[in-house]
Amino acid sequence: MGSPITTVYSRIKRLEDSGVIRGYKPVLDAARLGRPTTAFILASITYRTPGVEETLDQRLIAQEVARFPEVQEVHIITGDWDLLIKVKGRDVADIGRFVVDKLRTVRGIEKTLTCMVFDTAKETLDLPL
């Protein structure tokens, strides 16, 4: 605290120029926007479609899943599952409709496991500098 405004501006400008600060966005309250329910979904991918020679691309499947408006995050992960997907919805039924009617229709999604969030102790995009 107490740094001159020019020093603060200079540091912010350096962080922007170096790509550390990628942009500015408002932090929206999902509950006030009618989407208070959060779920994390694990998805397994099948890399071959029966009767098709070409294998499916995990990154392209992740990009397709990321296009759904309910989806906040999509991560390609290690272990028994291939994708970790964070979604926000109106209620449990809304999340269920997303999984059944949208996510499971994506070519390559073989199975899913949905983990409903009961309460959130911390949710942030902050990173220490």
| Chain segment 16-26, per-residue pLDDT in tens | 999 999 999 99
| Residue 89 or 5, more confident | 89
Tokens of 81: 């599952």
Q: Which fold has domain 37-116?
A: Alpha-Beta Plaits (3.30.70)
In Å, what is the CA distance from 5 to each residue of 1, 11, 20, 30, 54? 11, 10, 20, 34, 57
| Chain segment 39-76, per-residue pLDDT in tens | 999 999 998 777 777 888 999 999 999 999 999 999 99
Question: Measured at the alpha carbon of residue 82, what is the angle toward residues 29 and 89, in degrees to the nearest 5?
Answer: 25
What does the buried/exposed string (b/e) look like for 12-35 if buried means 16 or more CB atoms within 10 Å of the residue's CB? eeeeeeeeeeeeeeeeeeeeeeeb
Map out the domains of the chain as residue ranges.
37-116
Least confident among 1-5, 77-81, 97-101: 1-5
Tokens of 112: 């899913």
